[in-house]
Amino acid sequence: YATEEALEYYLDPRNGLKEKEIFQFEQLTFNESYHMDCEAAVQRFLDNTFMKGNVPETVMTYSFVFWAIGKGMNISPFHLASRVYQEQGKGTSPLISGTYPGYEGYYNYFNIGASGKTNQEVIENGLAYAKAHGWNSPYYALHYGSEVLSSNYIAKGQDTLYLQKFDVDNSSNGLYWHQYMQNISAPTSEARSI
């Protein structure tokens, strides 16, 4: 549970006006002027992560997949790569292993629907979501997870990391309740990785 002081700090956008944290306010839609030829830059970011090579079960690199999905769905490839990195860290989560008992062959790179009171509940809810939506390959999980980001958040005005966490824009969903993640420091830490 977050303290009131921590919430006040992260909710106040002025505290994000620092060299690395400012990227939580960057627009997350695909921008032809700087995303068109960014696959190599995305690869440099991924080189120090579990996503440095090919997407499992494909011959495509993660950087190419993030670029192609981003261009096709109007999402920043950097955002897709950093969001998966934020959600999966070292890449050892059962949500992307494809081997979790009862959910073999299902993947959820974006942790969509992965909530609960225990680790087991979080994992099983996330994999149940993946199974219900047919995410039976790493590529499908990346593609359709990106589609959820695009249609449920970015296209509805939550077009920055900050707005995906702190729903302070009343233009689409009402105020305060429509958040992508529970972690109050996620916009700041994801901005640092960008």
Residue range 11-38: mean pLDDT, rounded: 86
Angle (CA) 131 112 86, round 5°: 130
Residue 35 clears pLDDT 70, i.e. is over it: no
CA dihedral 139, 141, 53, 161 (to 10 degrees): 130
Residue 95's pLDDT is 98
Query: How far is the C-alpha of 25 from the C-alpha of 166, rounded, in Å?
Result: 12
Residue 186's pLDDT is 83
Q: What is the pLDDT of residues 161-173, one digit of tens each?
A: 888 888 777 777 6
Mean pLDDT of the chain: 90
Residue range 97-123: mean pLDDT, rounded: 96
Residue range 36-61: mean pLDDT, rounded: 92
- What is the reported pTM? 0.85
